[in-house]
Every structure is written in C-alpha cells, then in structure tokens.
Amino acid sequence: MWKQSLKKKFEDEMQVYDYALSLLAYRDYCVADMVSKLLQKGAPQEFVAAAVKKMTEYGFLDERRYASRVYEAWLSKKYYGRRHLLAELQRKHVPEQYFAEILSRFSEEEEAERARAACELFMQRNAEKIQQPADKKIYASAVRFLGVRGFSTRYVHFILEKLHFTDDM
C-alpha cells in the first residue's frame, strides 16, 4: 500500500489562512515559525506570505505578545538566570528587538533570589558529597551547576557561602 503524502494540498490563500488559524488555536507562534510550519506543510510561498500578512494585520500574529508569552512560560522555571532566559528567547526565535524589553522585566533582585534557590537545590541534591571532608571538587561542581542554569559568576559567592569555602583556593 502506498503511503499518502503528509503534505496538504492548498488550493487558495484562504485554506492556508484557515490552517494557520487552527495552529494558533493551540499555541502562539512567532512569524518565522509560522512561515516555516506552513511551508513545511506544503503551502505555496505566495499563499504563506498573504496569510501571514493578514494574521499580522488582524493581530493574530504579534511578535511582542509572543515574546511576552515566552518570558511568562520561562518564569515557571525557578532555578534559572538571565543568560538562560536569553538563550530561551533565541531558541524560541523571538526577534532580537524584544530582547532588551524582556530582559528588563527580570530584575537583579529576582535573579539573586533564583540563584539562592538554585544553590539550595544544589545543596539538597549533593548533601552526601558536601559532608565529605575537604573535597573541593564540589566547589567546581557547584559553579558548573550555576553556570549551566544561566547564572553569571557574580552569583558564585552564594555557593562559596553555602559550602563554607574561602577565597584562598
């Protein structure tokens, strides 16, 4: 038996527009992702351009709103910092013009609180290793833990305080 093509046959702009609206019923898309999704589904370039233009005019595709929703979803991740937020914005194809606006919503105090929470999480996960006498490898592990989660080196002092290390390492 022949496999049927996964690409839908679009005969006019309205079909592409309707399909795009059905995609938006499930989640928001940035313009670039919507264009990619429609082209991947087999819609002709000119139909895609017309549908995206129409959706943008009607406010169904709104890059600023999309950027805000990416940020709001990211906020639920409790143990991540500013650099991780920037990486998430890039990964979700948020236009660069909105980066500064979104990053300005994330205060220094909020990031410091998240860094403290990440340190606490690290301490919980590594309680047995921390109890071992004078194992300074745990310091490097803790710094990597914060770095991977998007915290800058300015938050390393939280780890130093928690692990009771001194600066003379």
- Give the relative orientation of helices 137-148 and 156-163 as an angle to the nearest 10 degrees: 150
Q: What is the pLDDT of residue 101?
A: 94
CB 46 within 8 A of CB 11: no
Residue 2 predicted with pLDDT over 50: no
Confidence label for 154 from pLDDT (cuts 50, 70 and 90): confident
Contact 38, 51 (CB under 8 A): yes
Provide mean pLDDT across the span 149-162: 79
Q: What is the DSSP string of 6-21?
A: SS----SHHHHHHHHH
Q: Which long-range contacts (CB under 8 A, 24 or more apart) does 52-57 make?
A: 52/20, 54/17, 55/17, 55/20, 55/21, 55/24, 56/31
Residue 1's pLDDT band, with cuts at 50, 70 and 90, is very low
The total number of residues shown for the chain amounts to 169
Q: How far apart are CA 163 and CA 103, in angstroms?
A: 30
Compute the distance between CA of residue 154 and CA of residue 105 in angstroms, rounded to an integer: 19
Give the integer Cα–Cα distance in Å for 69 and 79. 19
pTM of whole model > 0.75?
yes
Q: Is the pLDDT higher at 152 or at 75?
A: 75
Least confident among 26-30, 100-104, 131-135, 143-147: 131-135
Who has greater pLDDT, 136 or 151? 151
Mean pLDDT, residues 114-119 = 90
Task: Answer yes or no: is pLDDT of 4 > 50.
Answer: no
Count Cα atoms within 13 angstroms, Cβ side, for 23: 22
Q: Evaluate whether 37 touches 61 at the Cβ level (below 8 Å).
A: no
**Which tens digit of pLDDT belongs to each residue from 7-62?**
668 888 999 999 999 999 999 999 999 999 999 999 999 999 999 999 999 999 99
Q: Pseudo-torsion of CA 88, 92, 94, 99, nearest 10°? A: 0
